[in-house]
Structure 1
Amino acid sequence: MCHDDDSRPPPPPTVGAVASHGRLTLAAGDGNTVAAYRAIPQDPRNRNVVLLPDVRGLHRYYRQLAVRFAEAGFTTAAIDYFGRSHGTGDRGDDFDWRSAVAEVRPEHVAADVRAAADHLHALNGGPVFTVGFCFGGSHSWRLAAGDIDLAGCIGFYGTLRHLTDVEDRLHRPLLMLVAGADELTPVADFRAFRQRLSDAGVDHRMHVYENAPHSFFDRSFVEWSEFCQDAWERILEFTSEHA
């Protein structure tokens, strides 16, 4: 599971200045207070990103990653999942995410993402994309079935079981970045899923990083730097085409 204490984000493919970054709280439509970390680029690309973390929530890795996305020109907010049960406190390495994540429902994630997307869109009128990792990757793809105004839904090594009940309603563009040696979801399952998306006419892209482990982008990017660079480039291309 994706929770290495020494993880740090890979550098973005192109680096610019960041105008500001820091914590904030947002109000979700169901009354939840959402902890978030916002990073604003000096020279925005007119694109916004809501980052959906892994099971750790708003861990320092995702705060740092928000800054990386801003360096690449995206107005960015990384969100936390656990405001309803654990308030807006710090998600350090001692945070008990195992019990907390069991209480998170898809409708909670959607409400929190909507709050972040609305906030970013008010700052920067460009389109909003979601980018998720593991638990967040699954929920990023799931949002492609919802009514939030998203230009595309990007996910790293999510699990497809979170999509079973909405698969026939997916209608927003998808980018799936798959770890070829991921033990949580076999590549064969993703290939079958991709075929079903093609049959349904859903706009999607999928790339398999052969032999890469689950969490290669955040847990061991030095070892898999070539793949991480490629993933960045695919995100830039996808968001450019769907902007």
Structure 2
Amino acid sequence: MCHSTDSRPPASPIDGAVAETALLELTSADGTVFSAYQAVPQTPNGMNVVILPDVRGVHPYYQALSERFAEAGFHAINIDYYGRNAGVGVRGDDFDWEKYLPEVTPDHIRADVAAAVERVRELNPGPVFTVGFCYGGSESWRLSAGDLDLAGVIGFYGQPKNVRDQLPDFAIPALLLIAGADVATTQEDFAAFSAELADAGKTHEMYVYDGAPHSFFDRAYGQWADACSDAWQRILDFTRLHGRVEAPASA
């Protein structure tokens, strides 16, 4: 699982400002109340992201990441996984996720994402993407087979073994951003998964960052700055392509 330090994702040439942030309590269709963190852009780009974090849920790092997406123009919301067992609240570094994570299911996550999608669409009816990390990376890819009318699903370092059962039903474009030195999944498994998606005619892109460790994007190690910047740009390009939003004109 991911154990990483707080940092901010790389800057981009379209930095703006955050108009508003809020720690929310949302309600899933099954009646579960769970925490989420919302960031509203001052200059919207017309698109939305729902962030599926690693095992830490609504941790300060993912609050900062929501704000980073808002600075780039997205309406962004970061969900928590633990409303059904740990209640609501921000998860600090001392949060005992190992106690609660085994009770979380893909159906729970799908229901909570649905509530978050409904929330962002109240503010902006534009296309919605999911962006997941580690545990959330797998769950983001899984939503390619879902019914939430997403424009695309993005995942860092997810585990293909957790989503292969859904591969035949993948219908939404997927972006796979892979650590070349991942210790949770072999490169052979990532390559095989990409080949399986291609053989099945599923729209996807996969990029491997050679030598980068698992969780490289949310670590403060300057040596991975180039990989982080490239991954951020690929997110922007992928969302523009599948959200049908034009890139800003060059200065």
Same fold (TM over 0.5): yes
**Letter of the structure 1 residue corresponding to residue 11 of structure 2:** P
Distance 1:56 1:103 in 2: 14
Distance 2:221 2:75 in 1: 23
- Contact 2:6–2:60 (8 Å) recurs in 1: no
State the AA in 1 paired with 2:206: M
For normalisation by structure 2, the TM-score amounts to 0.94
CA contact (8 A) 1:12 1:69 kept: no
The residue aligned with 2:126 is 126
Question: Unpaired segments of 5 or more residues in structure 2?
Answer: 244-251
- Summarize deviations over 1:49-96 as a string: whole Å, max 9, x none: 000000011111001110001011110000000000010023111110
What is the aligned partner in structure 1 of residue 145 from structure 2? 145
Is 1:9–1:217's contact at 8 Å kept on the other side of the alignment? no
Query: Matched residues in 1 for 2:90 and 2:40: separation?
Result: 21
Q: Pairwise mapping of residues 72-221 of structure 1 onto structure 2 (< 5 A)?
A: 72-221=72-221
> How far did residue 178 of structure 1 move?
0.3
CA distance in 2, matches of 1:9, 1:157: 18
Residue type of the partner of 1:168?
P
Shift of residue 222, structure 1, vs aligned partner: 2.2
Equivalent position of 2:70 in the other structure: 70
CA deviation vs aligned residue, 1:133-180 (integer Å, no higher than 9, x gap): 000000000010111110000000011121022121111100000000
Give 1:29 deviation, angstroms.
0.7
CA distance in 1, matches of 2:221, 2:202: 31
Structure 1 residues 76 and 83: alpha-carbon distance in aligned structure 2, compared to 1, 3 A threshold: same
Q: Percent identity?
A: 55
Q: Distance in 2 between matches of 1:22 and 1:221?
A: 29
What residue is the counterpart of 1:21 in the other structure? 21
What TM-score do you get using the length of structure 1 for normalisation? 0.97
Give how far 1:236 is off.
0.5
Residue 240 of structure 1: aligned partner: 240
Work out whether residues 129 and 150 of structure 1, in 8 Å CA contact, stay in contact via their aligned partners in 2: yes
Indicate conservation of the 8 Å contact 2:10/2:225, yes or no.
Answer: no
Aligned partners of 2:28 and 2:11: how far apart in 1? 30
Give me the CA root mean square deviation. 1.0
SS at match of 1:149: coil
Residue number in structure 1 paired with 2:6? 7
Letter in 1 for 2:8: P
Q: Which amino acid aligns with 1:239?
A: T
Cα offset for 1:221?
A: 4.5
Code of the residue aligned with 2:10 in structure 1: it is P
* Cα distance in 1, alignment partners of residues 28 and 197 from structure 2: 31
- Conserved in 2, the CA contact under 8 Å of 1:155 and 1:177? yes
Query: How far did residue 11 of structure 1 move?
Result: 3.1
Report the number of matched residues.
242
- For residue 220 of structure 1, report the CA deviation from its aligned partner: 3.4
Residue equivalent to 1:227: 227
Alpha-carbon distance, 1:99 to partner: 1.3
Contact 1:53–1:135 at 8 Å: present in 2 too?
yes
Please give the alpha-carbon distance, in whole angstroms, between the structure 2 residues aligned to 1:10 and 1:146: 28
Q: Match of 1:29, SS? A: coil
State the partner residue of 2:45: 45
Q: Report the Cα offset of residue 7 of structure 1.
A: 2.0
Query: Is the CA contact (8 Å cut-off) linking 1:12 and 1:72 kept in structure 2?
Result: no
Alignment partners' CA distance in 2, 1:157 and 1:70: 23
Match of 2:248 in 1: none
Moved more, 138-147 or 212-221: 212-221
